[in-house]
């Protein structure tokens, strides 16, 4: 099984636990403390891919 670097994962699926994100054009940063998505469960939108209504968009 191949592995993605943290930078590549963030580019494909967005930030995950432990990643720091700069807020817009400020000098403020936030750190993601929890990720409720298990590896392999990431939802991908666009690019010809489809996702059933409301799948991947739940609050839990």
Write down the pTM of the prediction.
0.60
pLDDT at 49 over 60: no
The C-alpha atoms of residue 55 and residue 60 are separated, in whole angstroms, by: 11
The whole-number pLDDT of residue 22 equals: 95
The whole-number pLDDT of residue 32 equals: 94
- Would you say the C-alpha torsion 40, 42, 47, 48 has a positive or negative sign? positive
Beta strands, E only, the chain: 20-22, 29-31
Tally the C-alpha atoms within 13 A of residue 48's C-alpha that lie toward its C-beta. Answer: 0
> 24-39, pLDDT tens digit by residue?
999 999 999 998 877 7
């Amino acid at each position: 099984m191949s592995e993605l670097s943290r930078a590549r994962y963030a580019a494909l699926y967005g930030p995950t636990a432990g990643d720091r994100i700069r807020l817009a054009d400020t000098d403020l940063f936030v750190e993601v403390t929890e990720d409720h998505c298990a590896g392999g469960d990431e939802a991908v939108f666009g690019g010809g891919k489809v996702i059933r209504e409301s799948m991947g968009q739940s609050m839990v």
